[in-house]
Amino acid sequence: MTTPAHWIASEIEAGRTGLQSMLDRSPFPRVALRTIAEDGDFHIIDHRYVARNPDFKGESWFPEKSALIDRGDGTWGLVIDVTDELRAGGSLPVPRALINVLGVPRADRVVLDSDTGAKIVSFVNDEPKVSSISSLLHDDTRVTLVFDPETKRLTVEA
């Protein structure tokens, strides 16, 4: 699966660094691509060009540099410990790479279907998180959240 971050990296490697050109040609939503191009592993120079950010030391957009697990079938897994806070309905911080995989624009959200209704993955205030998953949790202390970007679905495996 090609993600916006991988697509941007391949464009830069091919010498196609113009921001507007990338936005025009991108197979991804413009706002999601811009979100990734302007922060983290990348940065925009003079409002015109996208480059890798050699000084970046934070959390990567790239799934392979995060806690996300490529399950090989187009889905991504995230192993979490189930806490009392999650059982009580608290939101769950997620890796920034999930925002890339799902194409969530900055200050926006993506709605995922689940067995118990809609779950929201948001990227507000640069804090990627999933809304309450308490309705998906049972007695397990450790589960894998499975995100399917194609079908926009979230499931939980014990």
Instruction: Write the pLDDT tens digit of every residue in 62-95.
Output: 999 999 999 999 999 999 999 999 999 999 999 9
Residue 36 lies in a domain: yes
Number of domains the chain is built from: 2
Residue 17 lies in a domain: yes
The residue segments making up the domain with residue 37 are 4-52
Please tell me whether residue 131 adopts helix, strand or coil conformation: coil
In the chain, % of residues over pLDDT 90: 96
> Which residues of the chain have a pLDDT value below 50?
none
pLDDT of residue 125: 87
In the chain, % of residues over pLDDT 70: 99
Backbone angles phi and psi of 4, in degrees to 5: -55, -40
Supply 94's token pair: 């997620």
Amino acid, single-letter form, for residue 24: D
47 shares its domain with 68: no
pLDDT of residue 126: 85
91 shares its domain with 133: yes
pLDDT of residue 114: 97
Rounded Cα distance between 2 and 7, Å, is 6
Query: CA gyration radius for the chain?
Result: 16
pLDDT of residue 1: 65
45 shares its domain with 71: no
